[in-house]
A and B are shown apart, each in its own frame.
Chain A
Amino acid sequence: MEPIVSVRKLRKVYVLGKSDERVALEDVSFDVHKGDFVCVVGPSGAGKTTLLRCISGLMPPTSGDAYFEGQELTSVPDRIGVVFQDYSQSLYPWLSISRNIALPLKVRGVDKATRQARIEEVLHSVGLPDVGKRYPWQLSGGMQQRVAIARALAYQPDLLLLDEPFASVDAPTRFGLEDLILRVRTEFDVTVVLVTHDIDEAVYLADRVVVLSGSPSVVREIVDVPLPQPRSQATTRSDERFVQLRQSLLGLVTVQ
């Protein structure tokens, strides 16, 4: 089966040819198959966000290729949803929650009744059925990130890309959001690529973990996570295999 995302010898250099040239990604290759949940981990400054921006089509690589559903990326494809870390910028404060979610539907020509139904559906899925009329800044950080996830799901993407999505919320909220993303992944049958610096989070969520080295990044290893589904914070995190995996990944990320 053809992979949904295919990254081949991706290299990204900022300010190429100038004295302050910086190599963010040296040589990155991996595939993501339909239905996969892949987490990308690496030390800070490892070019994780750069990688995600290349996979989403927001930024062209310096060399190498990124394919989505067999097509080379030149702009952001219609069927990709992206959730950024900073929800305070990615949700528009001048639009109510409903209108934030309606925006991508509107530009895709979805009619009003369908829009309304979709908004209700996704808000219900993220556990916020009653916030439609409110504004992003009236909600807590965790709730805003749930709205951002709902908006990304509203136009039914094949692939969901998340860039450190839970780094700006406190620990209890983070656990809740992790379980939420596992639930919607099944519910919406969507492929997920999630970038994080938190190894526990990566092991808890992923089917496979792509470990990047420090800058300039190469793929150090791709690790399968054979933990049973569905996962739960209490049992999965105390599973012996979970503990072993996080130890070995910790070694991979920290040892240079």
Chain B
Amino acid sequence: MWARTRPAARAWPLAPARRGRGAARRLPGPLATAARAVLGLWLMVVLVALWWVLSRDSTSPYFPPLRAIVDRLVDLWIVGSAKAELVPSLEHFAVGYALAGVLGIVTGAVLWRLRWLREATSPMLYFCYVLPSAATLPALITIFGIGDTMKIMVIALAAVWPTLLNTVDGMKGVDPLKLDTASVLHLSQAQTLRWVVLPAALPQIVAGLRSSLQIAIILMVVSELVASTTGIGFFILNAQQSFAIIDMWTGIIVLAFVGTALNVIFVLIERRVLAWYYGARATQEAA
């Protein structure tokens, strides 16, 4: 009944390098990387170009020309001051996500260690996990008010589950021989947790953190759609409600870039932290 999320190793666009696909296979390093980027991006380029061309002469207020959106995006977000809207959003995100990560791993480790507690809480945790987080928003507003605390708690409480469940699952899955080896080497229980169980479960914990990241980004925006006066979510909603459709689109596009940037940062860190895991797996696959 525990959710299983295996390490998202092949996640586009920064999957750990796997030697070439199709046409890119025979090309040397940098060329192959470029070729893969082109292969991966062509559809997006075509669609954006289509959007650009088809919307060029649009007079509909609901489908403004892409060109107008891009111009406005530069004016508002690069030259102008709208980027200040990102500051509270990213602050809430950072605190909420960090809280979710720490809480998820610590609680997961406790539940792994205490089997009776794990079995007692398992059905409850599962209910929390499948409950759509946005639905708890009204309840959290009544508890935490409508300030920063509420937004942080919304993010943390929604994002904690994948990390928590994956931590328990990952730690339960540690090979018994690894634990026997720890006893033989005379590691204490705390040392075994730190030097053996945590690293052994890390690939799965990181996969959980990755799911948590997506949820945290979603809830960062959702929490600003209700009873808020700042943040990028508020900006998008406010623009839509004031019929500033072009502004609304710029907000959505900026959000897409922010989300991409956060994912790219995550994958770069993951690659460093789990270098041993991908290295070992590549060796296994080659054998």
Cβ contacts under 8 Å, A58 to chain B:
180, 183-184
Which listed residue (A56, A81, A90, A104) contacts B178, Cβ 8 A?
A: A90
Known: A92-B196, A94-B199, A138-B283. A108 touches B184 (CB 8 A): no
Which listed residue (B184, B195, B199, B202) contacts A82, Cβ 8 A?
A: B184
Q: Is B188 close to A, CB under 8 A?
A: yes
In angstroms, Cα B202 to Cα A56, docked, is: 29
Within 53-97 of A, Cβ neighbours of B (below 8 Å) are at: 56, 58, 75-76, 78, 80-82, 84, 86, 89-90, 92-94
Cβ contacts under 8 Å, A104 to chain B:
185-187
In angstroms, Cα B192 to Cα A161, docked, is: 21
Cβ contacts under 8 Å, B284 to chain A:
137
CB distance from B49 to the nearest CB of A (A): 45
Known: A90-B177, A93-B280, A94-B276. A103 touches B183 (CB 8 A): no
Within 142-185 of A, Cβ neighbours of B (below 8 Å) are at: 151
Within 162-206 of B, Cβ neighbours of A (below 8 Å) are at: 175, 177-178, 180-181, 183-188, 191, 195-196, 199-200, 202
Q: Is B277 close to A, CB under 8 A?
A: yes
Q: Is A234 close to B, CB under 8 A?
A: no
Cβ contacts under 8 Å, B196 to chain A:
92
Residue of A nearest to B187 (CB): A107
- Contact A78–B177 (Cβ < 8 Å): no
In angstroms, Cα B195 to Cα A93, docked, is: 11
CB distance from B195 to the nearest CB of A (A): 6
Cβ contacts under 8 Å, A90 to chain B:
177-178, 180-181
Q: Is B22 close to A, CB under 8 A?
A: no
- Contact B283–A103 (Cβ < 8 Å): no
CB distance from A236 to the nearest CB of B (A): 31
Q: Is A242 close to B, CB under 8 A?
A: no
- Contact B180–A84 (Cβ < 8 Å): yes
Cβ contacts under 8 Å, A75 to chain B:
183
Q: Count of A residues near B, CB < 8 Å?
A: 23
B50-87 Cβ-contact flags toward A at 8 Å (1 or 0)? 00000000000000000000000000000000000000
- Contact A84–B186 (Cβ < 8 Å): no
In angstroms, Cα B277 to Cα A138, docked, is: 12
In angstroms, Cα B184 to Cα A86, docked, is: 14
CB distance from B7 to the nearest CB of A (A): 14
- Contact A80–B276 (Cβ < 8 Å): no
Residue of A nearest to B181 (CB): A90
Q: Is B30 close to A, CB under 8 A?
A: no
Which listed residue (B177, B183, B186, B277) contacts A93, Cβ 8 A?
A: B277
- Contact A103–B276 (Cβ < 8 Å): no
- Contact B199–A137 (Cβ < 8 Å): no
Cβ contacts under 8 Å, B188 to chain A:
107
Cβ contacts under 8 Å, B181 to chain A:
82, 84, 89-90, 92
Q: Is B28 close to A, CB under 8 A?
A: no
CB distance from B219 to the nearest CB of A (A): 32
Cβ contacts under 8 Å, A89 to chain B:
175, 177-178, 181
Q: Is B132 close to A, CB under 8 A?
A: no
Which listed residue (B184, B200, B202) contacts A80, Cβ 8 A?
A: B184
Which listed residue (A82, A93, A103) contacts B187, Cβ 8 A?
A: A103
A105-149 Cβ-contact flags toward B at 8 Å (1 or 0)? 001100000000000000000000000000101100000000000
Cβ contacts under 8 Å, A80 to chain B:
184
Known: A103-B195, A137-B279, A138-B279. A92 touches B178 (CB 8 A): yes
CB distance from A21 to the nearest CB of B (A): 21
Known: A107-B188, A135-B279. A86 touches B177 (CB 8 A): yes
CB distance from A166 to the nearest CB of B (A): 17
What 7 pairs between A and B have smallest CB-CB spacing?
A104-B185, A137-B280, A89-B177, A82-B184, A94-B199, A90-B181, A94-B276
Interface pairs (6), CB distance under 8 Å: A58-B180, A94-B200, A103-B185, A107-B188, A108-B186, A137-B279
Contacts beyond the supplied A81-B184, A92-B200, A138-B283: 17 A-B pairs with Cβ under 8 Å: A58-B184, A76-B186, A80-B184, A82-B181, A82-B184, A89-B181, A90-B181, A93-B276, A94-B276, A94-B277, A103-B185, A104-B187, A108-B186, A135-B279, A137-B283, A138-B279, A151-B185
